[in-house]
Amino acid sequence: MALPAYRLVNGDTGPQQQSPVTCGSACLTVARMLVDPAFAHWIATGDGARPGSPTGHSPAERFAAYERIVHRRTNHFALSAAGINLPWPRMLGTPPWGAKRELELGAARHGTEYDITLVRPLTQDRLAAAFDHLNSVVAEGMPGLLYVGTGLLPRHVLLILPGNGDDRLDIYDPSDGSVRARSVRAFASHNLGLSGWDVPWFVVAPTRIRTVRHGIRQRRYATLADADASPA
Does the residue 88 lie in any domain? yes
Q: What is the pLDDT of residue 211?
A: 59
Other residues' Cβ atoms within 10 Å of the Cβ of residue 165: 10
CATH of the domain at 206: 3.90.70.10
Does the residue 17 lie in any domain? no
Cβ proximity of 112 and 104 under 8 Å: yes
Does the residue 61 lie in any domain? yes
Q: What is the pLDDT of residue 216?
A: 35
Does the residue 1 lie in any domain? no
| Domain range for 63 | 23-227
CA 43/CA 226 separation, integer angstroms: 30
Does the residue 133 lie in any domain? yes
> pTM for the full model?
0.88
Does the residue 15 lie in any domain? no
- The sign one gets for the Cα dihedral 25, 27, 31, 36 is positive
Instruction: Tell me how many domains the chain contains.
Output: 1
Q: What is the pLDDT of residue 51?
A: 86
Does the residue 6 lie in any domain? no
Q: What is the pLDDT of residue 225?
A: 27
Q: Are strands 144-149 and 217-221 parallel, antiparallel or unpaired?
A: unpaired
3-state DSSP helix/strand/coil % of the chain, to nearest 5: 35, 25, 40
Q: What is the pLDDT of residue 42?
A: 95
Does the residue 13 lie in any domain? no
Tens place of pLDDT per residue across the chain (232 aa)? 688 899 999 999 999 999 999 999 999 999 999 999 999 999 999 999 888 889 899 999 999 999 999 999 999 998 876 678 889 999 999 999 999 999 998 888 888 899 999 999 999 999 999 999 999 888 878 899 999 999 999 999 999 998 766 789 999 999 999 999 999 999 999 999 999 999 999 999 998 666 554 443 333 333 222 222 222 2
